[in-house]
Amino acid sequence: MDLGLNEAQQMLKTSARDFLEAECPDTFVREMEEDERGFTPELWQKIADQGWLGLVIPEQYGGVGLSFFDLTVLLEETGAAMLPGPFFPTVVLGSMSIMEAGSEEQKRALLPGIADGHSIVTMALLEPTASWRPEGVEATAVPEDGGYILNGTKLFVPCAHVSDRIIVAARTGDAPRDVTLFLAPRNADGMTQTLLKTIASDRQSELVLTDVRVPASDVLGEVGRGWETVEKVIAWGAAAKCAEMVGGAQRVLDMTVEYAKQRVQFGRPIGAFQAVQHHCANMASDVESCRYIAAQAAWKLSEGEAARQEAAMAKAWVSDAYRRVCATGHQVHGAIGFTKEHNMQLYSRRAKEAELAFGDADFHLETVSQGIEL
Amino acid sequence: MDFRFSEEDEAFRREVVDFVEAELPWDWRNHEVDSEEPDGLKLVRAFKKKLADKGWLTRAWPREYGGQEASHMQQLIFGVEMSYRGIPVDDGGVSMVGPTIMMSGTEAQKRFFLPKISRAEIDWCQGYSEPDAGSDLASVQTRAVEDGDDFVLNGSKIWNGAHSGAGWMFMLVRTDPDAPKHRGISFLVAEMNVPGVKIERIPCMWGADRSLVTFEGARVPKSGLIGEKNMGWYVGATLLDLERSGANYSARALRLLEDLVDFCKENVRDGRLLSDNPLVRSRLARAAVDIEAARLVAYNVASMQSKGQIPNKEASISKLVGSETLLTVYGLGMQILGMYGQLDPESKWAPLRGRFEKGYMMVGANTVAAGTSEIQRNIIATRGLGLPRG
Ligand SMILES: Cc1cc2nc3c(=O)[nH]c(=O)nc-3n(C[C@H](O)[C@H](O)[C@H](O)COP(=O)(O)OP(=O)(O)OC[C@H]3O[C@@H](n4cnc5c(N)ncnc54)[C@H](O)[C@@H]3O)c2cc1C
């Protein structure tokens, strides 16, 4: 057993940190919160040049061919830097589901474009039912003229506004898991996209599908078996989100400890008061636990295991812990942490989004209770 | 012991509720008013005038200053009904400045300020905190130097609501920099529209602002000094106790809980009504119990006050329990609303008009403002329980 990073992973982490420090400082994060698109094509191209967009894509499709675990090493840094834009959806939702379920032809057609930065991809899974279970998919896909006609409303779709392709989950039968994935172009006739204003200032959308036609060649994976892919995407997404959250939580801890050393009240740094020390110690314990429970899930998934239980445990724990870390971070910062100028609130708003993405603690605890044979 | 309101108090409560339901110029169930923004302040001012006409703002005050000599309980009942409906009637004038002037002001100050407060003719902002004086309030550095009939002010006050256009600030200022820190402070009230006062907005995460007020040689009349010069800490300390009775927290939390219960009875998740989900039921019920406990602790503070007793650790416990409960209830709301909870009020998909999303961002301030939870615990432990100071 060795719970440390290997040398290559350590290098990836360091170079990611250096890159993000230069290209994605907090001033940029703030600017992008107000920006229409929420990211810049310039940075996107630089990210592609780093090889990040193809990090887990095999070399034969233009990628770097690293593992899912390596990706989570990188995501810890993007979470720490709060990298805005469609990196997460494109890599985790887009490239990974195409790698998992795509035909050879689809992989060859789509993955190189993702890796080199030309193609942004996301997944439209949730609906007004707001459920991460297959029953929540009510959008329909009806066969016609050798293709499919899609109808329905998708909600909380990350970065749909800048995506070239949207992987749409739609119902192709009445059995709960009778769901199929479709690779729809965003500018397809009958698809209307509206941005939703959210707590994290990320860019989620409502997507209304009205008689959207998709050719049979754009079915991703087998008809009626899309949920098998979705289930994996939820587990990957959960583990990948956890990595981002660990990065964010570590930053919140660091900045809070730093502030506790600097801020003087009653003639002493506030960090000299045991009440504040205990807050910081609780945060540190949370971050430490987050780190290993998240890493275990990422590692098992990376080894090709289903890791249902580990991924669920990780997301259940980290979702709540990150929120706690932020709440305590705010408490230690006092009034200053609530100001827009301060980074504390940038993290705490994102913590809420991250907590909800790919299922909150309640959702994953249900999986855990099945896992312990309840 | 008697947990009921007296008949008189209950009749008053009904009268207040009926009046508010009939006269409030906005729909409190669907609309939140921010009294620190000019439009909101205008609405609130107009409604406060109506409440003042009824004599309700300062119902517990002596008649000569615009009160009706009612019990503290009635003052509490009034405050609770306002808080429950999110009506921001108190800018510190009624709950803080008035009582302080009554206790420490000159006869002339009483005659000048108290009727104006009672009739809602002046608005206040609170100038306590400074960039380097938060929890350690006694280290305020804003200097006030006597010059003829004036004090000349230099320094800055932060986190207040001066941007609302409030005409007056009540503040703690340093009048003797050489004395031990608690003994060189004075309590001062002053008008804000004088030269040398700069007000800058500080945008906050929930979309509203706080203010940084900088005084650069601003001249304000000495007649605004309340109590003895250099005794301001002791004049203002009574005021902090008044600030800490805390019934508003449970009142606000109760209203949120009711909103959540309604929401859960109408919304389906994963094939069943939220209100049929045992986990949701248990959490809502737990919140109801938390709120009740906080409410009773706060009512005890008012009960003590109405008997002329001075609450001490009780007020700190009430503030602590109340504010922490409010945080819990907002957190619970966000948990129940799930994915929808993250939507801004502007979104057509936002449930309960996005109140939880906004409130969740704002609520953390409740365990910071008006004395942080840590400071409350320090007070409970040392002043209340006699434990040695750390
Ligand atoms: C929304 C909002 C509105 C406000 N409105 C006003 C207003 O109108 N007027 C006004 O004057 N002020 C206002 N305040 C300021 C408020 O009173 C201060 O924020 C509060 O007193 C805490 O001070 P601080 O923020 O400087 O935090 P600090 O005092 O710097 O505290 C930082 C952390 O250290 C802890 N700490 C400090 N000392 C100790 C100790 N001895 N033992 C243990 N822990 C300690 C605190 O509990 C906190 O966790 C407002 C604040 C907010 C957030």
Give the three-class secondary structure for B384. helix
Those residues with Cβ within 8 angstroms of residue B259's Cβ, 6 or more apart along the chain or in another chain: B333, B352, B355
Q: Do residues A39 and A143 share a domain?
A: no
Q: Which residues of chain A have pLDDT under 70?
A: none
Find the largest Cα–Cα distance for chain B: 76
Place of tokens 């009440």: A275
Structure tokens at B76: 């509490």
Chain B (149-208) residues lying within 8 Å, Cβ to Cβ, of chain A: 158-159, 202-206
H helix or E strand, kind and range, residue B259: helix B247-266
In a shared domain, residues A187 and A274 = no
First and final C-alpha spacing in chain B: 37
Give the residue on B whose Cα is nearest the Cα of A347.
B205
DSSP B100-166: HHHHH--HHHHHHHHHHHHTT---EEEE--BTTBSS-GGG---EEEEETTEEEEEEEEEEE-GGGT-
Chain A neighbors of B342, CB-CB under 8 A:
198-200, 352-353, 356
Number of CB atoms found within 10 A of residue B228's CB: 12
Q: Is B317:A335 a contact under the CB 8 Å cutoff?
A: no
What six digits make up the tokens of A302? Answer: 């990376």
Q: Examine the domain organization and report whether A313 and A207 are in the same domain.
A: no
Integer distance in angstroms from the first to the last C-alpha of chain A?
A: 30
pLDDT of residue B244: 55
Same domain flag for A356 and A280: yes
**Substitution candidate for ligand 1 out of B95, B163, B368 with most atoms within 8 A of CB:** B368
Domain B124-230 has CATH 2.40.50.140: no
> Residue A12's CB: how many other CB atoms inside 10 A?
22
Residue A314 φ/ψ, nearest 5 degrees: -60, -50
Q: Are residues A60 and A183 both part of a single domain?
A: no
Which residues of B are less than 8 Å from A360 in CB distance? 335, 338
A131/B367 CB distance under 8 A: no
pLDDT single digits (tens) A337-354: 999 999 999 999 999 999
CATH number where A50 lies? 1.10.540.10
Torsion of the alpha carbons at A322, A327, A332 and A335, rounded to the nearest 10: 130
Residue type, B175: T
Interchain contact, A266 vs B136, CB within 8 Å? yes
- Domain annotation covers residue A1: no
Give the helix/strand (H/E) hosting A252. Answer: helix A226-262
DSSP B315-373: HHHHHHHHHHHHHHHHHHHHHHHGGGGGB-TTSTT-GGGGHHHHHHHHHGGGGTTTS-H
Cβ of A275 and B364 within 8 Å? no
DSSP state of A358: T
- Chain B segment 13-52 residues within 8 A of A by beta carbon are none
A276: which chain B residues are within 8 Å (Cβ-Cβ)? 374
B278 CB within 8 Å of a chain A CB: no
Question: Per the CB < 8 Å rule, is A273 touching B372?
Answer: no
Q: What is the pLDDT of residue B38?
A: 79
Place of tokens 């991460």: A132
Q: Which residues of A344-367 are buried (b: 16+ CB within 10 A; e: fewer)?
A: bbbbbbbbbbbbbbbbbbbbbbbb
Q: Are strands A179-185 and A165-171 parallel, antiparallel or unpaired?
A: antiparallel
Residue in chain B nearest A274 by alpha carbon: B390
Class (C level, CATH) for B7-90: mainly alpha
Which of A198, A224, A250 terminates a domain? The answer is A224
The amino acid sitting at A31 is E
Contact assessment for residue A141 and residue A180, using Cβ atoms and an 8 Å cutoff: yes
Closest CA to B170 of B89, B239, B115: B239
Residue-range definition of the domain harbouring residue A174: 122-224
Q: Do the Cβ atoms of A186 and A165 come closer than 8 Å?
A: yes
Q: Name the nearest CA neighbour of A323 among B274, B334, B339, B287.
A: B334
Residue in B closest to A129 by C-alpha: B269
Question: Would you say the CB of residue A133 lies under 6 angstroms from ligand 1?
Answer: no
Q: Which residues of A touch B369 (CB under 8 A)?
A: 335
Domain boundary among A224, A255, A278: A224
CATH number of the domain to which A294 belongs = 1.20.140.10
Cα-to-centroid distance, B129 and ligand 1 (Å): 8
Count the domains in chain A: 3
Q: Is the CB of B124 under 6 A from ligand 1?
A: no
Same domain, A31 and A67: yes
Interface test with B, best of A196, A203, A322 (most B CBs within 10 A): A196
Q: Is the CB of A260 under 6 A from ligand 1?
A: no
CATH 1.20.140.10 fits B244-384, yes or no: yes
Torsion region of A266: left, alpha or beta (phi above 0 gives left; psi -120 to 50 gives alpha): left
Residues of chain A with Cβ-Cβ distance to B204 below 8 Å are: 338-340, 345
Catalytic residue of the set B36, B81, B130, B243? B243
Residue A276: CB within 6 Å of ligand 1?
A: yes
pLDDT of residue B241: 59
Residue in A196, A340, A348 closest to B204 by CB: A340
CA distance A110 to B305: 73
Please indicate, yes or no, if residue A2 is contained in any of the structural domains: no
Q: Chain B: residue nearest A353 by CA? A: B342
Which of B134, B159, B367 lies closest to A265 in CB terms? B134
Residue A213 inside a domain? The answer is yes
Contacts of A221 (CB under 8 A, 6+ apart): A100, A101, A102, A180, A181, A228, A229
Mutate to test the interface with B, among A197, A207, A263 (most CBs of B within 10 A): A197
- Residue A207: CATH number of its domain: 2.40.110.10
- Cβ contact B326:B363 at 8 Å: yes
What is the location of CATH 2.40.110.10 in chain B?
Answer: 124-230
B353 near A CB under 8 A: no
Coil/strand/helix, residue A368: helix
Distance A318 CA to ligand 1 centre (A): 29
Q: Which two tokens stand for residue A57?
A: 């894509």
Provide the pLDDT for residue B234: 93
Question: Whose structure tokens read 């506004």?
Answer: A161
- Write out the H or E segment, with its range, that includes residue A338: none
**Rounded distance from Cα B80 to ligand 1 centre (Å):** 25
- Interface touch A349/B205, C-beta < 8 Å: yes
Quick check: is B243 catalytic? yes
Is A173 found in the same domain as A240? no
Going by alpha carbons, the residue nearest to atom 1 of ligand 1 is B365
B246 and B73 in contact (C-beta within 8 Å)? no
Q: How many residues does chain B have?
A: 390
pLDDT tens, residue order, chain B (390 aa):
899 999 999 999 999 999 999 999 999 988 888 888 778 888 999 999 999 999 999 998 999 998 999 988 898 999 999 999 999 998 899 989 998 999 999 999 999 999 999 999 999 999 999 999 999 999 999 999 999 999 999 999 999 999 998 999 999 999 999 999 999 999 999 999 999 999 999 999 999 999 999 999 999 999 999 999 999 999 987 665 555 568 999 999 999 999 999 999 999 999 999 999 999 999 999 999 999 999 999 999 988 888 888 888 999 999 999 999 999 999 999 999 999 999 999 999 999 999 999 999 999 999 999 999 999 999 999 999 999 987
Portions of chain B given CATH number 1.10.540.10: 7-90
Beta strand pairing call for A165-171 and A121-124: parallel
- Are A257 and A344 contained in the same domain? yes
The reported pLDDT for the residue numbered B145 is 98
Position in ligand 1 atom list of the atom nearest CA B136: 29
Residue A193 and residue A163 share a domain: yes
What is the value of ipTM here, to two decimals?
0.97
- Which of A118, A147, A163 is the endpoint of a domain? A118
Token pair recorded at residue B267:
């919304």
